[in-house]
Chain A
Amino acid sequence: MDNAYRILGVNLNATDEQIKQAYSELSERYRSDAQAIHELNNAYDSVMSERRLNRGTTESSANGGYPYFTSIRHLINANRIEEAEVELQRVPVQGRIAEWHFLMGTVMSRKGWLSEATRYYSNAASMEPGNTEYQQAYSSVVYGRQGQAPGNPYTPYRTSNNNDWLTACIVCNCLSMFCDCCGPRNRCC
């Protein structure tokens, strides 16, 4: 993690804004170097996701969450999944609040046990419908089950409700009302 901060050239207690600024400056500078950009992106992603998770911890502890969930979150962040699972299993049944289900879902997801992960995320989301963290985790699983995949390069071909295209088509249609210089009408839509 320290390495990621070093790549971005900021210190550990820099604010999110400073990190964003450092990231955009560096990505401008190394625009042509694919290797450097890749490292930079990885560093930025890991720093930001760590901060996001930590923020989740402090918020929920402030709301009267169980303090040991914080240490479990740290274990998950450090990729010590098995230890985190053992710790979670130790929580007594009455202490298994929404956050427990969410963390259990995260552990299962990291292990690759996706059907268990779905179950736990769904429990967490239904126990605390107002919590965006749990809702996001659950909806990303639901989207996955519906066949969506991040970074899919093939989707734009199939769904033609892209707004840019629509505007282009309208302009084209309007033009062809006056002349057929850009091809016969309705060729593209």
Chain B
Amino acid sequence: MFGYILPRKPELLVKEYEQYTTVYCSLCRSLQKNYGSVSKAFLNYDFVFLALIGLSGQTQEKDAYIRGCSVNRLKRVSYFDSEILQYSAACLVIASYYALTDNMHDEGFIRRITSYVVRIALSLSFRKACRNYPKVALQVKESVHQQAIIEDAKESSLDRAADPSATALSFMLSRFGNEDNESVFARLGYLLGRFSYLADVGDDLVEDIRKKRYNPVLIKYELDAVDDKRIPKIIEEIREELLLTRSELAVSYSQLQIHSYEGILKNIIYLGLVDTADRLTLEKKKNRNIRVFNADFRKGI
């Protein structure tokens, strides 16, 4: 579910890269401070993007303090604090808790046990996050419920299957808007959630066939063999769907008034998301762990 919304690092300016790491470290610090060290393990790029979108409305980029990193004490990192970061941290805790609950039902025995244990460890943080932002918790809970209904009904439509996660993210982002542009933020969030969900559908396709888990594409095309010849074509179709989602995302983005972090946000929307979509077409999972220096990396492999 997580980790699909990230920048293409080689194309960032050094300044932008430092700002990006600052927001990343600040979110980590906010998690540590408000929700304890267990929650830090769930830090991911998607919620850094959520924080960036929230922070982009501020007229100036914040100055940061330099401190030791809480994971690696020898490393010096910069960070700042902001209400938006606290909000993003709460969203992350809530979303991660429900993702763990989901794992407890679909995964194999060992991962199920692990998820159960980790979920207990996270439950205090989860309760605190729910207290701080009850509406978000309620919305995510509702989305998880809707998702369960869809999975039970073996829904084959991608749009319908992506709807609950998209709605949850839409709700999280709509908080950043005022009455004029709330709908733009909501749409941006909807499309982001849809993007993450579809990327996950494409990414887990083969694994889902093997483990016989729910996946809307499997039902749509009645796939049941790992070596089915239609798989590359289906992945290509998901890739096109991702690119279309990203194109609509760019439209919503252009309607926002961005004051800070513009370079990073443009990089993520125009390059990072395309890389995510392209990475799906690579065959083996380990091939996906390449670092992209060349825009045409799909041809190189």
B187 CB to nearest chain A CB (Å): 7
* C-alpha spacing A152/B246, complex, angstroms: 11
Closest to B186 in A: A112
- Interface residue ranges of A151-177 to B (CB < 8 Å): 151-154, 158
Among candidates A42, A79, A141, A150, residue contacting B244 with C-beta atoms closer than 8 Å: A141
CB neighbours (8 Å) of A149 from chain B are 246-247, 249-250, 269-270
Q: How far is the CA of A144 from the CA of B273 in the complex (A)?
A: 13
Kindly supply a per-residue 1/0 record for chain B positions 223-266, scoring 1 wherever the CB is within 8 Å of any chain A CB and 0 otherwise. Answer: 00000000000000000110111111111011101000000001
At the interface, yes or no: A147 with Cβ under 8 Å from chain B? yes
Q: Say yes or no: is A36 at the interface (Cβ < 8 Å to chain B).
A: no
> What DSSP secondary structure best describes chain B's contact surface?
helix
- Does B93 sit at the interface, judged by CB under 8 A? no
Interface membership of chain B positions 154-192, coded 1 if the CB is closer than 8 angstroms to chain A and 0 otherwise: 000111100100100000000000000001000100110
Say yes or no: A153-B270 contact (C-beta < 8 A), given A38-B257, A158-B295.
yes
Asked if A114 meets B245 with Cβ closer than 8 Å, knowing A38-B257, A150-B251, the reply is: yes
CA of A157 to CA of B250, assembled, Å = 18
Q: How many A residues touch B, CB cutoff 8 Å?
A: 25
Contact with B along A83-124 (1 / 0, CB 8 A): 000000000000000000000000011001111101000000
In the complex, what distance in Å separates the CA atom of A116 from the CA atom of B246? Answer: 16
Give, as a whole number of angstroms, the nearest-CB distance from A37 to chain B.
11
Chain A residues in 8 Å Cβ range of B11: 154
Contact between chains at B157 and A79 (CB < 8 Å): no
Give the interface size class of chain B: 20 to 34
Chain A residues, Cβ within 8 Å of B92: none
B271 at the interface (CB under 8 A from A): yes
Once the chains are docked, how many angstroms separate the CA of A3 from the CA of B191?
28
- Asked whether B218 is an interface residue with its Cβ less than 8 Å from the other chain, the reply is no
Q: Which residues of B contact A109 (CB under 8 A)?
A: 248
A52-84 near B? 1/0 per residue, CB < 8 Å: 000000000000000000000000000100000
Sampled A-B contacts (11; CB under 8 Å): A113-B160, A114-B159, A114-B244, A115-B158, A115-B241, A116-B157, A141-B244, A145-B241, A146-B240, A150-B247, A154-B11
By a beta-carbon cutoff of 8 Å, the part of chain B in contact with chain A is 11, 157-160, 163, 166, 183, 187, 190-191, 194, 240-241, 243-251, 253-255, 257, 266, 269-271, 274, 277, 295
